[in-house]
Chain A
Amino acid sequence: MEAAALSLMNAVPLLAGVPLWAVTLLLIVAAAAVILVFALTFEGVGSLVLRKVAGDIQARIGPNRVGPNGILQFLADGVKLVLKEDIIPANADRLLFKLAPYFVFVGSFAAFVVVPFGVGLIAADLNIGIYYVMAVTSLVVIGVLLAGWASNNKWALLGGMRAAAQIVSYEIPVGMALIPAVLIAGSLSLQDIVRSQGGLLGIFGWNLFHNPFTFFSFFLYFTAAQAETNQTPFDLPEAESELVSGYNVEYSGIRFGLFFLAEFGDMFIVAALATACFLGGWNVPFFHVGTLPWIWGNLLSLGVFLAKAFTMVLIMMWVRWTLPRLRVDQLMRMSWKYLVPLTFVNLLGVSLWLLVFKGKGIPGMIASLFG
């Protein structure tokens, strides 16, 4: 950020007298605001799309009252959530009860900071990008556990316990399934990982097609990540038909809204990571966006990235309205007995591949055959 602030100060003579830290702070706030606006817009529109998709899949119409074809439904929902009475149960632990939604929301929102939206569109290109995402999204588990405990409701407690067990269990396969992308790029930075998938191979430059192990990694990641973010068929912490609504059962108004927004935020983060680590991120096939003027290059890469990410989000919605829910013991078994060993084997496979073939993937080797 400081470097960006410096270049900004050089470019705009008006800022010459302002201290460096102030400009940096200004930039940080601006970046956070932009991301917050994007996240909230995505979460709002996402909820509408989710309901429309649900309508299509379930042979019904979906929201169609607010605005033309119901496209303003999410605004109405948002207004409703803000205006609703904020109830805190009499015997709840008031402090923790109020604190819990922020943990969940921050955990989900902070991950947006390192999402590589385009060539130059990233709030903070941390050199530990993936590690940061994994760490920050772990905040969610604290929030969910707090919410379950502080509500003083047995169903909420069960939901919180389930969520804690589930998120902790699935974090391991998620992390292990992402490491192949790190190995190939040789960097934890998400921008570096995306760049490593560019080049003249087009979509075959993607990590997805790098070698058979990365191909499986993608699916392992996607499955495990669905579970880590409590999406159907792994939505046990919420499990409406079993736990009524799980850890957020006692929440109302905007506190519930924060949980709700975080859920959609998580959905996008999963899709964005899958896109960045396996589907080539913002790379435009057979085309080097860096050669374009800054603004066009960024717009084009942003469009490509969002198209890929939204496709993944749609797939998640499709899965959500198709599959039933696992039982809690089956869920744990799936993680520890299948996903964890599989991701480890897979990681080993990728490492060996990179060692034996000197970092080259199958498409790369084929391409070098033809010069």
Chain B
Amino acid sequence: MTEEHELKDPVLPLGRPTIGSAGNTGTWRTSKPVFIEENCIKCYQCWVACPEGTIRVDSKGEFPYVDYVYCKGCGMCVHVCPKGALEMKPE
């Protein structure tokens, strides 16, 4: 194969894992979940319930927080919280 025909990059429909592959999905939201840290018992129910993975926990035992760049504002975390440590506020 001559050099000009040599392919530098394989021509495959190959994608790479990317955060924010659909853009900043936080712009979809109409109201946002807000943490009230003193109520939080670190049960992480919100972490499990979040479909998007925007409830972040840096390491086990830390308080969760919300990544507002990508949070779509579905409100599932607020609904599952047993202690009222999250509430929905209009954007």
A and B from one complex:
no
